[in-house]
Homo-oligomer: A and B are copies of this chain.
Amino acid sequence: MHLDALPHQNQRDTASVTLKDIAAHAGVSRSTVSLVLRESPLVAEQTRLKVQHSIKALGYVYNRGAAALRGSRTSTLGVVVYDIANPFFGAMVAGIDAALNREGYVSFLANSEDSPARQQRFLERMREHSVDGILLCPAEGTDPGLIDTLDNWGMACVQVLRHVAEPPFDYAGANFHQGVCQAMDHLVRLGHQRIAFLGGHSEHSATRERWQGYRESLEHHQLTYQRLLRSTVTRRDGVDMITQLMAESPAPTAVVCHNDMVAFGAMLGLKRLGLVPGVDCAVIGTDDVEEASLSEPSLTSIATHPYAIGEEAARLALRRIANPEGAREQVVLAPRLQIRDSCGAARPTSDSTLPNRAAGTHA
């Protein structure tokens, strides 16, 4: 056999098998093969088997790109988060992944680092790739008009964790308001009168909901001590804020924190002041990241179920893609207070993880 039978073909070493090749091999038309691939009931059983055999024999690989060009779906979703390095988002992305995978979808991930400009670039790029929809955790300072813009682009958009647009929108997140109230109730039940709230960056829904929960709870329990410290939400912020608070007089006897990172920082700050978290000052975090059960003392935390939020968000997006005109939905997961040692129960080395699980959903 002559090696140079096809002179200029060395580029195409990975000559890909197409519908045409299968059609030829099976002795049918391209159209029939296409129908078989899409599991159409139109094609006769016998033909179906014959074609499927050829598909295997030739090692065919479905070309989603080509299919997307003619059809209307790309089976692709864009996911934009603002801090992928945070373990909370790791778990959330894992949940998204799981839900999408079940439906044959695949996701583009982008990290806006809380910059609206980066976020904008990513959204445009995803549009060029014609994703079917977007899961958006809006960056700090996102223009509320963005959601309408995406809608005009004909792109299904589900806001996650935070929302910036006016009411009729798709959203998946946790009920932060309720979570903070649960934490406050628990602290009041333990006899605390001076409870501070630590952290929260600025004006998006996730922060507003927490603060509102804090203020309403104070009012509900008729507590007069009120101390709400704004900050970014890192460990270091936790250290700084608790240090400042404990120098005040009167100092709080308990703090509820914007997230677990701030709470870990607060506990560290207390220790550096020679105080014992859970004894000298109760600490409650938010999110219940894995580490919460393994700190010293173990951290009481408002569990927000990131994996479940990711799953719900992805499912909602798939629903919206299937039915673009359907009514907008808000999936808000009920948080659950995971009680451990940092809020006063103070049983040093016991594993106080409760076995029961409850995650309510309501539209």
Query: Quick one: which of A14, A106, A268 has the most chain B CB within 10 A?
Result: A106
Which residues in B have their C-beta under 8 angstroms from that of A27?
none
Q: Does A54 contact B (CB under 8 A)?
A: no
Which residues in B have their C-beta under 8 angstroms from that of A14?
153-154
Which residues in B have their C-beta under 8 angstroms from that of A90?
83-87, 89-90
Chain-B contact segment, one of A122-130, A193-201, A278-286: A122-130
Which residues in B have their C-beta under 8 angstroms from that of A271?
296
Q: Does A265 contact B (CB under 8 A)?
A: yes
User: Are B61's CB and A65's CB within 8 A?
Assistant: no
CB contact under 8 A between A154 and B13, given known A84-B93, A90-B89, A107-B108: yes
Q: Which residues of chain A from 265 to 300 have any CB-CB distance to chain B below 8 Å in the complex? A: 265, 268, 271-272, 290-291, 294-296
Q: Which residues of chain A from 295 to 332 have any CB-CB distance to chain B below 8 Å in the complex? A: 295-296
Which residues in B have their C-beta under 8 angstroms from that of A290?
85, 235
CB contact under 8 A between A106 and B97, given known A63-B128, A127-B61, A349-B272: no
CB contact under 8 A between A129 and B294, given known A84-B94, A86-B87, A107-B109: no
A358 to chain B, nearest CB (A): 22
CB contact under 8 A between A97 and B69, given known A90-B84, A90-B86, A294-B265: no
The 10 closest A-B pairs by CB, nearest first: A14-B154, A85-B90, A109-B109, A235-B294, A64-B128, A85-B91, A84-B90, A62-B128, A272-B349, A65-B68
Interface residues of A (CB under 8 A from B): 13-14, 61-66, 68-69, 74, 76, 83-87, 89-91, 93-94, 97, 101, 104, 106-111, 113, 121, 125-130, 153-154, 235-236, 239, 264-265, 268, 271-272, 290-291, 294-296, 348-349
Given contacts A65-B130, A83-B90, A272-B296, 4 further A-B contacts (CB under 8 A): A85-B94, A93-B109, A93-B111, A106-B110
